[in-house]
Amino acid sequence: MRLTLAVLIGLALASIARADKAKIAPELQKLAPAATVDVIIQYKQTPSPLHHAKVAAVGGQLKRSLDIIQGAHYSIPASQLETLSNDPDVVFISPDRAVFATASTSPYTGSPDYGWRTVGADLATSVFGVDGTGIGIALIDSGINANEDLENAQGHSRIVYQASLIAGSGTADNYGHGTHVSGILAGDGAQSSGKQSTYLVRGIAPNANLISLKALGDTGAGTDSAVIAAIQQAVALKNQYNIRVLNLSLGRPVTTSYTNDPLCHAVQAAWQAGIVVVVAAGNDGRDNSLGTNGYGTITAPGNSPYVITVGAMNTVGTLTSTDDKIASYSSKGPSSIDQVVKPDLVAPGNRIISLYQSTSWLDATYPGNAVAKSVYMNDNGKSVPAYFELSGTSMATPMVAGVAALMIQQNPSLTPDEVKARLMKTATKFAPGISTATDPTTGIVYTDEYDIFTIGAGYLNIPAALADNETFSGVALSPTATFDATSGQVFIQPGALLAVWGTGTVSPTLAVWGTGAVWGTIAVWGTSTPQAFSDIWGTLAVWGTGQSSGEIVTLAINGDN
């Protein structure tokens, strides 16, 4: 057997005449030959021992199997990339890219958190009788630490499973981000119940179960391979823990088409396995480094047309949603390279108060974000703060993921596509308009237009989503946009066979989808779009071919006033 395997490997390597550079991600094509690089190789089928042996024969090492994407994570000499690329079984070779939490910090302002009430989470229980009971939400993040707000009525933790996908790291959340996100998903406000109910710090699905899959390290950074392995584990545990929703408050720059991106392939696989995948849009809406005013900055895997991609809104500290505005840092579409229409909708994400981890990196670095006890508790409460404030699309994402859990509790037969369609259809629509935000530190004024690449289908509306019982058939892929340089118009091309989204039908030839139920009457593109926005269209990625910025964390960005 060993001789046969050696002969097969020898024949395979001998048949390679030249590299197929179309199979190699641009970032890998100019590496020094002596370098060793971690890569993810995707194959036409689930890789076998023979595939691993071919990599080993050129000095590579298997680090992790990623069968969910028919791939694997290897460490290999850069000089052998070209050799491996010409293997007919290889589909694409990518670097094991860095991913980051999509939260930003801002000094605590002393205002209570109204986010969950603004979008109607209180009515989910009082009117519709749902609180996430029995639904498992997988959170791929920096881990979740035990917390009183994450216990059930019997005092047992609702964190029903924990695992770390980071070698040598335990399951504890030493960064603080995952614990904060978990409170938005499923916190029940137990530690804030000593004051008026208006000040309750509660999550969207306060009795859902949590599955913690740690893929981000102690400073909020991780890798594609760890996140993909976590997604793979979530799918494997789906039936055991009734995992119906997956929250990804993380991202990285888009550097290749979603059709080649292993991270996008993983979220697609989870979606097709029956799990609603909710992803942060990113925090680069203020980035004008390429003259796009933040357009084209959606991060991966939020660029996947399958998933629900969420942008962040600013509640401006009131219970009503009528005065809310888009957070200036919320990333805008269309997605780089593929021009997928994103985000899909927006939700509260600015200055959100949620669970606090006193020993975390975030607390040590930003101690001013701890919330004063007087905000949520009478004087007889705990002396140690229980809550922390963060801003970002990281905070908006669990708002939507929590609602998905509520919808599925109400109707367990809902598919991911039906959940996405209903959320987009029932989202509160915006009239065309402009809002501004001033950075409190720099004084820079940011202007945002309310087009579909900024606010998607609209603002999360929980009661409307739960009240909707309209049937939907088809695949709810986010559509793509194309730019006609002659007319200067942007056209929407449906991404799949879409049935009726409510009462309006979809026409692929209209620059605006008319008065259909998904987007309403908002403009596809702002009315004062600079000419430079045309740079988004064409063959060049917004992020360029070699940029791998870690700015997705954007911890220096202040939340909007």
Active site residues: 141, 177, 394
Only one residue has tokens 């996100």, namely 181
Contacts of 414 (CB under 8 A, 6+ apart): 407, 408, 422
DSSP character at residue 343: -
Residue 471 corresponds to which tokens in the numbers above?
Answer: 């049937």
Report strand pairing: 136-141 vs 243-248: parallel
Residue 486 burial by Cβ neighbours in a 10 Å radius (0-12, 13-18, 19+) = exposed
Cα first-last separation, the chain: 68
Helix axes 2-14, 49-57, angle to 10 degrees: 60
Residue 384 corresponds to which tokens in the numbers above?
Answer: 């140690």
Other CB atoms within 10 Å distance of the CB of residue 361? 18
Contacts of 174 (CB under 8 A, 6+ apart): 142, 143, 217, 218, 359, 360, 361
Identify the CA nearest to 481 among candidates 338, 345, 344, 295: 338
Secondary structure of residue 441 in the 3-state scheme: coil
Only one residue has tokens 């499923």, namely 186
3-state helix, strand, coil in the chain (%, to 5): 25, 20, 50
Identity at 326, one-letter amino acid code: I
Which residues are registered as beta bridge partners of 254?
none
Identify the CA nearest to 262 among candidates 229, 295, 296: 229
Tell me the HSE value of 10 on the side-chain side, using a 13 A CA sphere: 6
- Which stretch of DSSP H or E encloses residue 234? helix 224-236
Residue 205 corresponds to which tokens in the numbers above?
Answer: 């699905």
Scanning 381-475, the segments in alpha helix (DSSP H) are 393-410, 416-426, 452-455, 462-467
SS3 letters across 357-382: CCCCHHHHHCHHHECCHHHHCCCCCC
DSSP character at residue 160: E
Identity at 543, one-letter amino acid code: W
Residue 113 burial by Cβ neighbours in a 10 Å radius (0-12, 13-18, 19+) = buried
Residue 171 corresponds to which tokens in the numbers above?
Answer: 């399951």
Residue 527 corresponds to which tokens in the numbers above?
Answer: 């009315």
What is the rounded CA–CA span in Å between residue 217 and residue 212?
13
Contacts of 476 (CB under 8 A, 6+ apart): 416, 417, 418, 420, 421, 424, 496, 498
What is the rounded CA–CA span in Å between residue 525 and residue 453?
7
